[in-house]
């Protein structure tokens, strides 16, 4: 897969936006998306706090730092900040698009698991649903921005969290990692959109 | 010396130690007399043992050591009283050892070899359970049975205090026969060969904790174990936020024992272990209560099509979703039952049961079950005495006179079996209220009519109606909506 390198200088030049969005619309879309990432950052922090509150110790204790766990389909934003900044806009957008293509499905899986484990936690269910919706929104925006900038998007995600055979602890742990990655990606997307 | 043992009280195996130092090429002639006509029976053998019948009383034995050419070297005689014979049962064999990991239970079957003896005998068995690499005895139990002269398969089961996955469990048994008429020594048999139920603590793919997602009663004592791989080691193991001392089971398995667990939150109490270099594994324990007896069970019919039973679930169990309390409504007379759909987040529940033609009496039992137990409530009703009609619908009032009004309303349901009692509320503009009762034959999904007389002319009234069963009153329906009417001028 070959990613077009987009120079910031040409970002809004006519030649670059060959799609239907005009330059002004691309700028507006980027601004809108950046605002969405501000909301996402705030909500993802709240979601992680609400999530751990309902899982019991050790999740709810501040010093709980389980080893990182790979979540199928969801890359972790582990690229160090300097390397992240060194990437081209197109490459950054590509990474964001890959993450936000996977997150709605994963957050949906977590909501289903929490409906089983915590049927009374209606606020947690509501926040999980909202987070999935926001991620879908961001993924849509990213897709349009990337289209306008001529950046090829990532392949569709193959993401799903452990099925019903997973034990309850692994389900809680998996959900914890999804919520934490959701928060980390929200911060990274906020940063990345700020650079466009 | 001469040592004789019997396995079956029928024959005995005597073995001796020859006095002569040269052992090569020797043979032995053993002659015994122990029963009528008391003629000696002789056997030649190269081994220093012989198989001799067992009889009551003493046995005279003469053992002659012969050299290679048959020349007697030495002769010894013994008088062997029964008291000097040892009864040692044959070594038992375990037929099979099965395990039910979900209930931590080992199931043992073995053959008691009762056919070895001709008569009924009391037998005692010892069953030993061992654990860990060090083969520590977990428990040694006695089990008595009666040998019946035929082979019988004996079975026995044992429930472990820790999950069977945690480490391998080994079992061996031995036997002791108590024949009151045998005056010789009675000894335990040899232990049987060991049978093993392997634990899961060898070759696991990833660190894991057992039991997985267990459900227990509040106040239980529960053991957990953390299994890890070669090259890993356990740092600590916690129940919720509390660390517990580790019991070392094997190279790859450590356990903790938690006493008197308290009710868990909805998503259960986490039990987890931190494993070096960089791993975590865990399980969840759901701690709750068995279902409470369903309370305030009442059953009524609204339409004589279904009977609706409602109840209160009582004390919350603390268990949800797949662990929630399930309700089944059994009806003894028709032998029919209905699985009730309930909203676990509600305390009050209801369940519908079909009304059967030609069945008046219903004997209900509502059974509540969850993984921790069951409870039930029962109720016997005569459906004709439990009619609670729906709110009268399509209520209309009309008049064509100055002193009376015609009322009409619709009630869903099949009331052919009963008479209805309906109550009409008449309110005038001064808010004076008057109630009139009217009885009528029940019908099916019908419109009902009544006439109210003795009204004032050119007066405005508000009418409402409600109904119930006329005979065996149970409950009024709700009031219909109110309808205003002004009578004609006189």
Q: What is the pLDDT of residues B373-410, one digit of tens each?
A: 999 999 999 999 999 999 999 999 999 989 999 999 99
pLDDT of residue B20: 54
- pLDDT digits over B25-45, tens only? 789 999 998 766 677 889 999
Nearest chain A residue to B264 by CA distance is A56
| B103 has a pLDDT exceeding 90 | yes
Output the pLDDT for position B1.
81
Structure tokens at B349: 């529940």
CB contact under 8 A, B264 and A168: no
Interface of B with A (CB under 8 A): 209, 212-213, 238, 240-241, 264-272, 278-284, 320-322, 344-345
Entry field: residues in chain A: 196
Residues of A in contact with B227 (CB under 8 A): none
- Give the least confident one: A60-69, A76-85, B383-392, B421-430: A76-85
| Cβ neighbours of A67 in B, within 8 Å | 278-280
pLDDT at A159: 59
Nearest to A167 among B213, B265, B266 (CB): B213
For the CA atoms of chain B, what is the radius of gyration? 42
In this structure, what are the phi and psi dihedrals at residue B255, rounded to the nearest 5 degrees?
-130, 160
In Å, how far is A135's CA from the nearest CA of chain B?
A: 26
Q: What is the structure's pLDDT at A90?
A: 86
Pairwise CA distance, residues B208 & B234, whole Å: 11
d(CA A117, CA A51): 12
Give pLDDT, residue B63.
Answer: 92
Identify the pLDDT of residue A73.
Answer: 81
The DSSP result for B113-175, as a single string, is -GGGSSS-EEEEEEEEEEETTTTEEEEEEEEEEEE-SS--EEEEEEE-SS-TTSS-EEEEEEE
Are the Cβ atoms of B270 and A61 closer than 8 angstroms?
no
Q: What is the mean pLDDT of residues B4-28?
A: 81
Q: How far is A42 from chain B (nearest CA, A)?
A: 26
Question: Nearest-CA neighbor of A111 among A119, B321, A177?
Answer: A119
CB-defined contacts A:B, below 8 A: 73
Candidates B209, B238, B345; nearest CB to A120: B345
User: Across the interface, do B320 and A120 touch by the CB < 8 Å criterion?
Assistant: yes
Cβ <8 Å between A54 and B241: no
Closest CA to B165 of B109, B220, B223, B238: B223
Interface contact B266-A116, CB threshold 8 A: no
What is the mean pLDDT of the segment spanning B148-167?
Answer: 95
The per-residue pLDDT for range B223-267, each reduced to its tens digit, is 999 999 988 999 999 999 999 999 999 889 999 999 999 999 999
Bigger pLDDT: B347 or B20?
Answer: B347
CA of B146 vs chain A CAs: smallest distance (Å):
46
Which of A45-54, A58-67, B99-108, B291-300 bottoms out in mean pLDDT, i.e. has the lowest? A58-67
**Non-local CB neighbours of B344 within 8 Å, separated by 6+ positions:** A119, B320, B321, B324, B325
- CA angle, B410 as apex, B456 and B475 as ends, to 5°? 90
With an 8 Å Cβ cutoff, the interface of chain A facing chain B consists of 54-59, 61, 66-67, 114-121, 167-170, 172-173
Put simply, the answer to whether B321 touches A119 (Cβ < 8 Å) is: yes
Q: Which of B267, B268, B273, B324 to mutate to test the interface with A (most CBs of A within 10 A)?
A: B267
**Which chain B residue lies closest to A117 (C-alpha atoms)?**
B267
Give A-chain residues touching B213 at CB under 8 angstroms.
167-168
Confidence band for B202, pLDDT divided at 50, 70 and 90? confident
pLDDT value of residue A82: 80
pLDDT, position B90: 94
Beta bridge partners of B215: B286
pLDDT mean across residues, chain B:
93
Average pLDDT over residues B76-101: 93
Is the pLDDT confidence value at A12 over 90? Answer: no
Q: Using one digit for the tens of pLDDT, what is the confidence trace for A141-184?
A: 999 889 888 888 887 776 566 555 579 999 999 999 999 999 99
d(CA A184, CA A81): 12
Query: A173–B282: do the CB atoms touch at under 8 Å?
Result: yes
For A58, the closest of B265, B268, B272 (CB atoms) is B272
How high is the pLDDT of residue A8? 37
B318 and B264 in contact (C-beta within 8 Å)? yes
d(CA B248, CA B261): 22
Cβ pair B265:A117 closer than 8 A: no
Residues of A with Cβ-Cβ distance to B268 under 8 angstroms: 56, 117, 168
Other C-beta atoms closer than 10 Å to the C-beta of A54 total 20
Q: Poorest-confidence range of A114-123, B19-28, B213-222?
A: B19-28
Beta strand ranges found along B293-392 (DSSP E): 295-301, 306-312, 326-331, 336-340, 348-354, 361-370, 373-382
Q: Is the pLDDT of residue B487 over 80?
A: yes
User: Which chain B residues touch A54 with a CB distance below 8 Å?
Assistant: 265-267
Q: Do A169 and B284 touch (CB under 8 A)?
A: yes
Q: Which of B209, B265, B320 sits opposite A56 (nearest CB)?
A: B265
> A117 vs B321: CB contact, 8 Å cut-off?
yes
**Burial (CB count <10 Å: 0-12, 13-18, 19+), residue A3:** middle
Cα B5 to Cα B2, B90, B189, distances in angstroms: 10, 11, 11
The per-residue pLDDT for B68 is 86
Closest CA to B92 of B74, B73, B66, B111: B111
- Residue B218 CA to residue B258 CA, distance in Å, equals 12
**Cα nearest neighbour of A116 on chain B:** B321
Top mean-pLDDT range of A11-25, B25-39, B471-485: B471-485
Q: Encoding tokens for residue A118?
A: 């915590």
Give the rounded percent of residues in chain B with a pLDDT score beyond 90: 79
Test the B interface: residue of A62, A65, A116, A167 with most B CBs within 10 Å: A167
Q: What is the pLDDT of residues B282-338, one digit of tens each?
A: 999 999 999 999 999 999 999 999 999 999 999 999 999 999 999 999 999 999 999
Instruction: Assess whether pLDDT exceeds 80 at residue A11.
Output: no
Tokens 């698991």 found at: A113
Please report where in the chains the tokens 């919706």 appear, as a residue.
A133
Q: Do B322 and A116 touch (CB under 8 A)?
A: yes
Global pTM value: 0.85
Cβ separation of A169 and B264 shorter than 8 Å? no
Partner residue opposite B270 with nearest CB, options A56, A67, A114: A56
Residue A77 has pLDDT above 80, yes or no: no
pLDDT value of position B23: 58
Looking at chain B, the whole-number percentage of residues with pLDDT higher than 70 is 98
Question: Could you tell me the pLDDT band of residue B125, with boundaries at 50, 70 and 90?
Answer: very high
User: pLDDT tens digit string along B134-151?
Assistant: 889 999 999 999 999 899
The pLDDT value given to residue A76: 75
- List phi, psi (to 5°) of A2: -110, 125
Average pLDDT on B202-227 reads 93
Measured CA to CA, the distance from residue B24 to residue B61 in angstroms comes to 23
Q: Sign of dihedral through CA atoms A115, A117, A123, A129?
A: negative
Structural contact between residues B66 and B90, judged by C-beta atoms closer than 8 angstroms: no
Nearest partner of B441 among B409, B413, B468, B416, judged by Cα: B416
pLDDT at residue A25 greater than cutoff 70: yes
Of B238, B267, B321, the CB nearest to A58: B238
Confidence of residue B19 (pLDDT cuts 50, 70, 90): low
Per-residue tokens: B334: 């028709």
Q: Which of B212, B279, B344 sits opposite A167 (nearest CB)?
A: B212
């Amino acid at each position: 897969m070959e990613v077009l390198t987009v120079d910031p200088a040409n970002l809004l030049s006519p030649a670059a936006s060959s799609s239907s969005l005009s330059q002004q619309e691309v700028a507006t879309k980027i601004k809108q998306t950046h605002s969405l990432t501000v909301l996402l950052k705030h909500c993802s922090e709240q979601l992680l706090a609400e999530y751990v509150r309902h899982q019991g110790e050790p999740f709810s204790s501040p010093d709980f730092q389980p080893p990182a766990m790979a979540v199928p389909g969801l890359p972790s934003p582990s690229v160090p900040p300097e390397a992240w900044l060194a990437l081209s806009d197109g490459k950054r957008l590509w990474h964001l698009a890959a993450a936000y293509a996977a997150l709605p499905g994963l957050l949906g899986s977590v909501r289903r698991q929490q409906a089983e484990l915590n049927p009374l936690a209606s606020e947690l269910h509501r926040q999980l649903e909202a987070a999935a919706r926001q991620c879908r929104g961001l993924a849509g925006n990213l897709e349009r921005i990337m289209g306008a900038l001529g950046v090829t998007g990532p392949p569709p995600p193959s993401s799903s969290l452990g099925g019903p055979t997973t034990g309850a602890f692994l389900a809680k742990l998996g959900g914890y990692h999804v919520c934490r990655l959701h928060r980390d990606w929200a911060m990274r997307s906020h940063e990345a959109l700020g650079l466009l | 010396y001469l040592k004789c043992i019997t396995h079956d009280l029928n024959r005995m195996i005597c073995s001796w130690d020859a006095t002569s130092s040269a052992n090569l090429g020797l043979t032995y002639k053993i002659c015994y007399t122990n029963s009528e006509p008391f003629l000696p029976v002789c056997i030649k053998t190269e081994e220093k043992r012989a198989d001799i019948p067992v009889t009551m009383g003493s046995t005279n034995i003469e053992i002659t050591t012969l050299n290679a050419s048959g020349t007697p070297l030495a002769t010894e005689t013994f008088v062997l009283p029964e008291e000097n014979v040892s009864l040692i049962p044959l070594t038992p064999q375990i037929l099979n050892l099965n395990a039910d990991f979900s209930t931590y239970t080992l199931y043992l079957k073995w053959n008691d070899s009762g056919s070895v003896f001709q008569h009924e005998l009391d037998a005692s068995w010892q069953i030993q359970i061992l654990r860990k690499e060090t083969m520590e005895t977990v428990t040694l139990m006695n089990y008595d049975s009666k040998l019946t002269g035929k082979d019988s398969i004996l079975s026995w089961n044992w429930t472990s205090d820790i999950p069977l996955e945690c480490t391998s469990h080994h079992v061996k048994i031995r036997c002791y026969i108590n024949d009151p008429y045998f005056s010789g020594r009675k000894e335990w048999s040899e232990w049987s060969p060991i049978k093993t139920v392997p634990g899961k603590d060898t070759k696991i793919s990833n660190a894991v904790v057992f039991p997985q997602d267990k459900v227990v009663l509040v106040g239980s004592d529960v053991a957990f174990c953390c299994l890890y791989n070669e090259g890993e080691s356990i740092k600590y193991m916690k129940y919720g936020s509390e660390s517990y001392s580790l019991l070392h089971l094997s190279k790859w398995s450590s356990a903790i024992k938690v006493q008197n667990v308290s009710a868990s939150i909805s998503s259960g109490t986490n039990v987890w272990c931190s494993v070096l270099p960089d791993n975590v594994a865990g399980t969840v324990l759901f701690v709750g209560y068995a279902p409470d007896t369903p309370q305030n069970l009442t059953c009524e019919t609204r339409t004589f099509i279904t009977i609706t039973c409602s109840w209160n679930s009582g004390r919350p169990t603390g268990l949800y979703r797949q662990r929630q309390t399930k309700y089944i409504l059994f009806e003894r007379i028709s032998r029919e039952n209905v699985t009730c759909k309930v909203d676990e987040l509600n305390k009050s529940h209801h369940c519908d049961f079909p009304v059967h033609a030609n069945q008046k009496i219903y004997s209900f039992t509502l059974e509540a079950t969850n993984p921790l137990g069951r409870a039930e409530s029962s109720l016997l009703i005569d459906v004709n005495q439990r009619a609670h009609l729906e709110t009268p619908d399509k209520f209309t009032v009309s008049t064509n006179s100055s002193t009376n009004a015609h009322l009409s309303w619709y009630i869903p349901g099949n009331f052919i079996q009963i008479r209805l009692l309906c109550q009409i509320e008449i309110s005038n503009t001064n808010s004076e209220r008057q109630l009139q009762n009217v009885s009528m034959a029940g019908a099916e999904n019908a419109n009902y009519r009544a006439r109210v007389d003795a009204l004032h002319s050119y007066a405005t009234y508000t009418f409402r109606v409600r109904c119930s069963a006329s005979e065996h009153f149970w409950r009024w329906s709700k009031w219909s909506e109110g309808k205003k009417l002004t009578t004609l001028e006189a």
